[in-house]
Structure 1
Amino acid sequence: MRYTLDELVSETKEIERNEGIFELETPRTLEVNLNGDIWAKAGSMVAYTGDIKFERERLREQGLGTMFKKAFTGEGASLMRASGEGKLYLADSGKRIIILELQNDAIVVNGNDLLAFEPSIQHDIKMMKKVAGMLAGGLFNVRCEGTGLVAITAHYEPLTLAVRPGKPIITDPNATVAWSGNLEPVIQTDVTLRTFIGRGSGDSIQMRFEGTGFVIVQPYEEVYMQMSQG
């Protein structure tokens, strides 16, 4: 489209919505009205105003177990603490952003799809060991639990599927965004899919969800960061 400069500013300018600490400035940009601390995905800051400082999550903040997990999951699980007062704008590769309000709830998010959360939310990085050698970079997730806001991301329009007793949901790990905290997915291998030659996307590796809850998938197979070679 063609704009004059005044038209461009008018069309794309920030809109004050006064909706709280997390606001969707656009479907793909999260505005954080910061007055204190929040946790965000490392590298997700695109702009800010005010007096805000950024600090990488220290390994000792999460303990020795997390240190080993980070060694295997690479930078995708890295978080940063944003502290101060001002407006902070976050985004991640143009993905759509969903703001969740947890009310003493728990949700497990693919580590690559967690954008930000309030400090009132307890978080723990977990790695699915059985899939570590099957997918590029393995598969790690972050369990978020408590009361507060969590922002997650997805490519295009996400789809939420209900998991019911006796009706399991099977998903592609590369397309799985998040699931309810009470579910424990099981990794399974589809032998028939493994027989296809030249399939490198990991379609033969699947996640099976059973019980009662939900799972969020995206219409996109996300490629994770390669594991470092020692």
Structure 2
Amino acid sequence: MVNRYSIEEFIKNTEQVDKGEGFFELETPRILEVNLDGLVWAKSGAMISYSGKIKFEREGLLENGIGHMFKKAFTGEGATLMKANGKGKLYLADSGKKIIILNLQNEAIHVNGNDLLAFETSIKHNIKLMKKVAGMMAGGLFNVRCEGTGMIAITSHYEPLTLRVTPGNPVITDPNATVAWSGNLQPEFQTDISLKTFVGRGSGESIQMRFEGDGFVIVQPFEEVNMQVSSS
């Protein structure tokens, strides 16, 4: 069924509306509005519009010390984080993915580098290298540990599912479908040769993430399969 609008009707049905929700506001399920008065971190390339006086700057390779050096491979497409600084309204989106706002209360969460959209400056971020899944994920070399008190926005293809991890009941996930996991969990990587005929991996193997302990894992019903990660 084709929806038909007059121009006036279309504007009324789609125009931006202030909801008064604060710093991060979901303008639509797939567009994040940042009511900016200062600084915010965001995924480079995620800006779709802004109003006001806002300046953008890519994160320097050594800005947060040698431990944060990650060259060009943050998302698998050469993108990094950017800083948006100023006062105005900033609109962020990422390939039409669903956006989830999480309000951390002195907590930590690990987010797949491809699924972190934005976060407040009160959140400490530390980029972690996952060598064993190099080339397997879209940006799969990296996940980002976000810790502290403040808001972060993560993305998911379609509706995410959260799986509880309890002692003695590990959860196994496909790295390409894994969005985030609780800060206290440290996944192990395992190879399941028996699955090699069911997956289209160039290596002929299935690499999985194994979570053990007490926490949660967020997965999406979509595999962000293989974009070659640059190391230059």
Q: For the superposition of Structure 1 and Structure 2, which TM-score range results when normalised by the shorter chain?
A: over 0.9
SS of structure 1 residue aligned to 2:225: coil
Query: Hey, what does 2:98 align to over in structure 1?
Result: 96
CA-based RMSD of the aligned residues comes to: 2.0
Rounded Cα–Cα distance in structure 2 between residues aligned with 1:77 and 1:107: 21
Selected match of 2:182 from 171, 174, 180:
180
1:70 aligns with 2:71: yes
Equivalent in the alignment of 1:55: 57
Q: In percent, how many aligned pairs have the same letter? A: 68
Contact 1:76 1:112 in 2 (8 A): no
Cα drift, residue 138 of structure 1: 3.9
Residue 217 of structure 1: aligned partner: 219
Residue 207 of structure 1 is matched in structure 2 by 209
Q: Is the 8 A contact 1:185 1:210 kept in 2?
A: yes
The answer on 1:167 being equivalent to 2:169 is yes
When residues 75 and 167 of structure 1 are mapped into structure 2, their CA distance, relative to the original with a 3 A threshold, is: same
Tell me how far apart the structure 2 counterparts of residues 28 and 105 of structure 1 sit (CA, whole Å).
Answer: 25
Unaligned runs of 5+ in 2: none
Give per-residue Cα distances to partners, 1:78-134, cap 9 Å, x unaligned: 100000000000000000000000000000000000000000000011011122255
Check whether the contact 1:113–1:154 (CA below 8 A) recurs between aligned residues.
yes
So what's the TM-score if we normalise by structure 2? 0.92
Q: Distance in 2 between matches of 1:103 and 1:212?
A: 18
Which amino acid letter does the alignment assign opposite residue 22 of structure 2? G
User: Does the 8 Å contact 1:106/1:182 carry over to 2?
Assistant: yes
| SS of structure 2 residue aligned to 1:225 | coil
- The alpha-carbon deviation at position 76 of structure 1 amounts to 5.7
C-alpha deviation, 1:66, in angstroms: 2.5
Query: For the structure 1 residues 84 and 162, does the alpha-carbon distance in structure 2 shift closer, same or farther, using more than 3 Å as the test?
Result: same
How far 1:32 moved relative to its partner?
0.3
Distance in 1, matches of 2:105 and 2:9, equals 42
Question: Is the helix fraction higher in 1 or 2?
Answer: 1
The aligned amino acid for 1:20 is G
Quick one: which amino acid aligns to residue 200 of structure 2?
Answer: R
